Structure 1
Amino acid sequence: MNSRFRRRSLLNSSEDNDPMSVVSNLFDVAMVFAVALMVALVSRYNMTEMFSQEDFTMVKNPGKENMEIITKEGEKISRYTPSGNKDSSSGKGKRVGVAYELENGDIIYVPE
């Protein structure tokens, strides 16, 4: 008779009747997955500079229509996207010098 009661007590344990234990376990798994995904994305796109203490400037898509300049100074991160309307800035400046590119890739600026 004792073995019969033991079987029932094993089948009716209090842990099996708690439906929230499954939800909490799924939440823990989802959090671990989200953190792992964030670490993988940061390392894949070489964005580890965002977490360092050093200031930096990064240019995304240089020379293209969708170019962006991202600057980090201390805790402040700013993003600059040049406007596509280049005619609006013409005539507002003056020529101050000439820049020459040498065969080895160096650029020399000669002020006027």
Structure 2
Amino acid sequence: MKRNRLLHNQTDSDPMGTVANLFDVAMVFAVALMVALVSRFNMTEMFSKEDFTMVKNPGKENMEIITKEGQKIKKYTPSEEQESSGKRGKKVGVAYQLESGEIIYVPE
């Protein structure tokens, strides 16, 4: 009995303990990567409580308008909407926002 106790000391580590530690490290890495990507692509607005509107690729064929109202996030792609509804539109002017916050519309 004494010899068996000496061979299996209580301070021996569990081999599966290393796997658990690797899982913890991987989870920390994954969360850090997600935070870095969100901050890199300026997507922090998605997690705020404020409503907002964002335009991706303005004036191009693949333009998208993303709006957040409360908990709902809506994505509007003009080309998809126009094809499905049969309606067509055209550019009628340009809006500029001054440093003071005032918005000026210039018709074409």
Could you say which TM-score interval applies, normalised by the shorter chain? 0.5 to 0.7
Q: Does 1:48 align with 2:23?
A: no
Paired letter, 1:89: K
> Which of 14, 20, 23 is residue 18 of structure 1 equivalent to?
14
**Which moved further from structure 2: 77-86 or 32-41?**
77-86
Over the aligned positions, Cα root-mean-square deviation in angstroms equals 3.3
Deviation track 1:16-50 (CA, whole Å, cap 9, x = no partner) reads 45221011101100010011101101111111111
* Partner in structure 2 of residue 106 of structure 1: 104
Contact 2:65 2:75 in 1 (8 A): yes
The two structures have a TM-score, normalised by structure 2, of 0.67
Shift in alpha-carbon separation, 1:64–1:18, aligned structure 2, 3 A: same
Consecutive unaligned residues of structure 2, counting only runs of 5 or more, are none
Q: Distance in 2 between matches of 1:63 and 1:100?
A: 11
Q: Does 1:58 align with 2:54?
A: yes
Q: By how many angstroms is 1:12 displaced?
A: 4.6
How many residue pairs were aligned?
94
The higher radius of gyration belongs to 1
Q: By how many angstroms is 1:107 displaced?
A: 2.0
Contact 2:66 2:73 in 1 (8 A): yes
Q: By how many angstroms is 1:108 displaced?
A: 4.4
Contact 2:57 2:64 in 1 (8 A): yes
Q: By how many angstroms is 1:74 displaced?
A: 0.4
Q: Distance in 1 between matches of 2:43 and 2:11?
A: 44
Consecutive unaligned residues of structure 1, counting only runs of 5 or more, are none
* Partner in structure 2 of residue 30 of structure 1: 26
Q: Distance in 2 between matches of 1:100 and 1:65?
A: 17
Q: Distance in 1 between matches of 2:59 and 2:94?
A: 18
